[in-house]
Amino acid sequence: MLRSLAFAPALALGFHAAGCSDDTSSTSSSASSTSSSSGDASSSSSGGGSSSSTGGAGGMGGMAGTGGTGGMGGMAGGGGSGGSSLICEPNTTSACYTGPAGTQGVGLCVEGTWTCNAQGTGYGPCTGEVVPVAENCATPTDENCNGSGPDCGAAVWSKRFGDLDGQYGKSVAADAMGNVYVSGHFYGVLDLGAGPMTATSLDGFLAKFDPAGNLLWSKHFSGTSSQKALAVAVDGMGNVVVAGNFLGSVDFGGGPLTAMDADAFVAKYDASGNHVWSKQFGGADVQSINTVAIDSMNDILVGGSFAGTVDFGGGTMTSTNVDLFGMKLDDNGNHVWSKHFDQQIGSQPALTNVAVDSAGNVAFTGYFFNTVDFGGGPLTSAGSYDVFVGKFGPNGQHLWSKRFGDTSDESPTGFGFDGTGNLFIAGGFKGPLNLGGSTLMSAGDNDCWIAKLDSAGNHQWSKRFGDAQKQYITGIAVTSTGDLALTVTFGGSIDFGGGPLTSAGNLDIAIARMDGAGNHVWSLRAGDGVSQSSEAIAFDPAGHVLLTGELVGSVDFGTGVLTSAGSADLIVAKLAP
């Protein structure tokens, strides 16, 4: 059965599963299905009808014959042959089941059959059995055979940290073991579990939690002015990279770094939290890194903005305004390549997200006004701020670039590749927006949009969500198989395809799972009449959904009410797939 969740009205967490009814445009479509199978059994934990026989003892030898007159006695008779040993009756078929005890006959799990071989020495494969697999939230069935339907979106754990001042979660990631990493910044006192960290201005933090939500270690980035840890990513060796910007002087573990104005930074730590290296990028004006990703070779991709003059390692770049940049570092922090995306005077662009595919290709997205050239020729906005997407090869060579927008403002806030190079992008807009299919039209103030592009940038499908009030997609996550998770800060109502979710008052948090075709899997809402905001979302290797952000008031994801201590408190949550 499909599960529905109900909570106290003031803190209700609405839940929907399966179905789709939203504005959709598509240039191509295909049916999708989910299937799973198990391999041949090598052993049986709950066998049917097998038997065995023990070989009989050998016969006693015959007595020696009595010798005739003058003759020798006869030889003793030989012993009888022992009986043969059988594991099963040859060529007979019986029931078998190789799944865990207690799961046979529960949910989808059923026994199979296997056949004894002609020699009676063993069984063939257990055919026709169904054993537990991970739940598929796109169906109402019990695939893991635990006696209930999917726990789709159910809270595994959720936590709140903070005091009377403000604490903000900005980025979240997971490693191959399911450990959770969160970065952000805070005022006042923040205790993540290892004792209080106190900020005299705006300080950054980085924390690692185990899969159960217990703190393993944390880092406090404190200096003479402000530090913002805006982005975090984990490499294949379990090292963690954090990036952002800072003012004044700060020590990330490798010695003090001092900024003339606001400078960008990248810092790397090993799995135990030990400093590996840290880098500063800046000049006399403002520089910031907003986003970070790591490829399969453990090289690091970052993107952001800068003003004035800066050298990222490949030569001096000069901006007469605020310009955008993308950069690749190797795993030791050495410059590999960097790109300067020049803007016309008078605009305030932003590079919001970077993503890298399995082949090492890199894509950047953000918004711009007037004209920008990523290497394929100038892109010109339609009137106000438009969305850009630029894709580059592993060596930084331009592959393609596109713009999307109309006369109103459009901006992207989420980005990711699946395992075959399809690119998912999401954001907010007012008015009309054409992403390559049919034109989407916002219902009022600010609506959400999400689109799928193929590896060449061609439109596959696009969708709009929202009503006349404000809705903001604040992040998306993509699995290698193309499953999506997205998080939204919203007022009014929003429907991802499972029925409307309605905010309790001001701004609430919504989370949704979709398949690669954009079909609704599950969605939920959390919040009260004050204000809650999600900032980032990620998957762990088991498909759990990880979320960070901040809350004012109270929120309940399903593991109990979390209530802010004052201004805005940090929240971290883990939800079932």
pLDDT, one tens digit per residue, over 122-132 is 999 999 999 99
**E strand or H helix at 158:** strand 155-161
The rounded distance, in Å, linking the Cα atoms of 322 and 345 is: 8
What pLDDT, on the 0 to 100 scale, is given for residue 35?
34
Cite the beta strand spans of 261-361 per DSSP E: 263-269, 275-281, 287-294, 300-311, 316-329, 335-341, 350-356
Model confidence at 190: pLDDT above 90 = yes
Token representation of residue 195: 């004792």
Token representation of residue 271: 């799995």
Token representation of residue 471: 């809705």
Determine phi and psi for 434, rounding to 5 degrees: -115, 120
What pLDDT, on the 0 to 100 scale, is given for residue 379?
94
**E strand or H helix at 251:** strand 249-251
Q: How confident is the model at residue 16 (pLDDT cuts 50, 70, 90)?
A: very low
Residue 412 C-beta-side C-alpha neighbours within 13 Å: 34
Tell me the pLDDT of the chain averaged across its residues: 87
CB 20 within 8 A of CB 519: yes
Determine phi and psi for 290, rounding to 5 degrees: -105, -20
CA dihedral 131, 133, 138, 142 (to 10 degrees): 50
CB 350 within 8 A of CB 413: no
The rounded distance, in Å, linking the Cα atoms of 5 and 526 is: 11
Determine phi and psi for 47, rounding to 5 degrees: -75, 160
The closest of 457, 482, 250, 495 to 361, measured between CA atoms, is: 457
What pLDDT, on the 0 to 100 scale, is given for residue 346?
61
Q: What is the DSSP letter of 176?
A: T
Determine phi and psi for 134, rounding to 5 degrees: -60, 145
Model confidence at 234: pLDDT above 50 = yes
CB 126 within 8 A of CB 98: yes
Token representation of residue 98: 């190789």
The rounded distance, in Å, linking the Cα atoms of 458 and 363 is: 14
Token representation of residue 256: 């003090």
What pLDDT, on the 0 to 100 scale, is given for residue 138?
66
One-letter amino acid for residue 430 of the chain: K
Question: What count of other Cβ atoms lies within 10 Å of the Cβ of residue 84?
Answer: 12
Q: What is the DSSP letter of 549?
A: E
What pLDDT, on the 0 to 100 scale, is given for residue 117?
96
Model confidence at 25: pLDDT above 50 = no
Cite the beta strand spans of 312-370 per DSSP E: 316-329, 335-341, 350-356, 362-368
CB 250 within 8 A of CB 221: yes
CA separation, residue 1 to residues 19, 77, 142, 150, 304 (Å):
14, 73, 8, 8, 46
The closest of 303, 306, 304 to 287, measured between CA atoms, is: 306
The closest of 84, 77, 294, 262 to 173, measured between CA atoms, is: 294
SS3 of residue 11 by DSSP: helix
What pLDDT, on the 0 to 100 scale, is given for residue 402?
98
What residues contact residue 169 under an 8 Å CB cut-off, 6+ apart? 182, 183, 184, 535, 536, 548, 549, 550, 570, 571, 572
The closest of 422, 427, 565 to 483, measured between CA atoms, is: 422
The rounded distance, in Å, linking the Cα atoms of 143 and 540 is: 20
pLDDT in tens, 377-423: 999 999 889 999 999 999 999 999 999 999 889 999 999 999 999 99
Q: How confident is the model at residue 84 (pLDDT cuts 50, 70, 90)?
A: low
Model confidence at 70: pLDDT above 50 = no
pLDDT in tens, 347-367: 789 999 999 999 999 999 999
Model confidence at 312: pLDDT above 90 = yes
Domains of the chain: 157-575 (2.120.10.30)
Record the pTM. Answer: 0.80
Select the highest-mean-pLDDT range: 78-82, 239-243, 468-472.
Answer: 239-243
Stretch among 15-29, 138-152, 158-172, 562-576 having the lowest mean pLDDT: 15-29
One-letter amino acid for residue 319 of the chain: S
Q: Give the β-pairing of 93-96 and 112-115.
A: antiparallel
How confident is the model over 265-289, as a mean pLDDT? Answer: 97
Model confidence at 34: pLDDT above 70 = no
Q: How confident is the model at residue 554 (pLDDT cuts 50, 70, 90)?
A: very high
- What number of helices (H) and strands (E) belong to the chain? 0, 42
The rounded distance, in Å, linking the Cα atoms of 463 and 517 is: 11
Burial readout 526-561 (b: 16 or more C-beta within 10 A, e: otherwise)? bbbebbbbbbbbbbbeebbbbbbbbbbbbbbbbbee
What residues contact residue 357 under an 8 Å CB cut-off, 6+ apart? 363, 417, 421, 455
